[in-house]
Structure 1
């Protein structure tokens, strides 16, 4: 009977320790922003995005300069208006006013289209990088047996203490040389 009781206790302890070990899941953390910016593709994507952004900015600045020039011309005409040329100048000012409204509408449209184009380009350039990094995070977490991996680069986790930093492992998985 004593042997049966000892065996039952040993079995119970073994089952309890197995369940306790399973309940203690590994938790790790990464810095997603650092991982993204450390990839070689990120710098290239950033440069491509900046080239497009600069081109759109220049286009809008040129249109703004044309608008300013036309507005200055209209103001000069208004200042040089007299009773003798009032009818002619008023007709010219009306035409210039219509032209200014057309230019302004065109600027707003170009600005809207530029924002759309920049948004699409951003997705096109950065979404594959994010996917690559997420795939590497998932692979490292699975390889190392982590149940949870938190991103500490955002403000969603106001406090964390401990846990393993998997950022260097993910960088290695991505082929990024640690700095």
Structure 2
């Protein structure tokens, strides 16, 4: 009899726990936000994007100058090769060998400049964008706490395959960041990581 009472109490406690958990989870608020879109609407992102575009343009011009130098030397080599004859063969071959070495050196410089440019852009991107990401995340967290959300899903991350219901807190986050309701995202000049 005592065992039956203990068993009954155990079942009753388990039922209360399950029902309590279900009612608690039913009361939890779920919201969603497109963090990437908000990120690209911030004034700081536009400024950072402009700086990254300028840096990218500068690096591109530097590389274009090197490509032009390479192309000019390549054309010189082709011209010398076309005009080569038995009479000037030794002289032209020596010039072609020198041009070949110069072309190799330019190729190596181009590769090095490309590598350094990518590193510089990556560092600058991280330096400029990380504080903006932190600011947006802090705003999302603040809105979630103010509004009593248990979960906020980021619809821009691609990990949310389906959502229905919940509340879109994007407008509240934009307001917290001082972004106007009709602002549009800025297209990144350099792909973000």
With the shorter chain as reference, the TM-score category is 0.7 to 0.9
Give the TM-score normalised by the residue count of structure 2. 0.82
SS state at 2:31 partner: strand
CA distance in 2, matches of 1:69, 1:172: 55
Between the aligned partners of 1:34 and 1:143, the Cα distance in structure 2 is 21
Aligned-pair RMSD on alpha carbons?
A: 1.9
Aligned to 1:36: 39
User: Would you say 1:109 and 2:105 are equivalent positions?
Assistant: no
Q: Give every structure 1 segment of 4 or more consecutive aligned residues whose post-TM-superposition deviation is greater than 6 Å.
A: 15-18
DSSP-derived class of the 1:37 partner: helix
For 2:151, the equivalent position in structure 1 comes to 148
Aligned to 1:22: 24
Q: Residue 126 of structure 2 is aligned with which of 123, 138, 143?
A: 123
1:109-131 CA distances to partner (integer Å, 9 max, x unpaired)? 00010000000111111111110
- Map Cα deviations across residues 8-52 of structure 1 (whole Å, 9 max, x no partner): xxxxxxx99876553221100001111101111111111000000
Q: Distance in 2 between matches of 1:41 and 1:31?
A: 17
Give ranges in structure 1 of 5+ residues lacking alignment.
1-14
Relative to the length of structure 1, the TM-score reads: 0.88
Partner residue of 1:175 out of 161, 175, 178: 178
Instruction: Specify the SS of the correspondent of 2:150.
Output: strand
- Which structure 2 residues correspond to residues 47-126 of structure 1 after superposition, within 5 A? 47-126=50-129
**Ranges in structure 2 where 5+ consecutive residues have no aligned partner:** 1-16, 183-193
Distance 1:19 1:82 in 2: 93
Alpha-carbon distance in structure 2 between the residues aligned to 1:17 and 1:158: 29
Cα deviation, 1:67-122, whole Å, max 9, x if unaligned, reads: 00000001101111111111111011001100000000000000010000000111
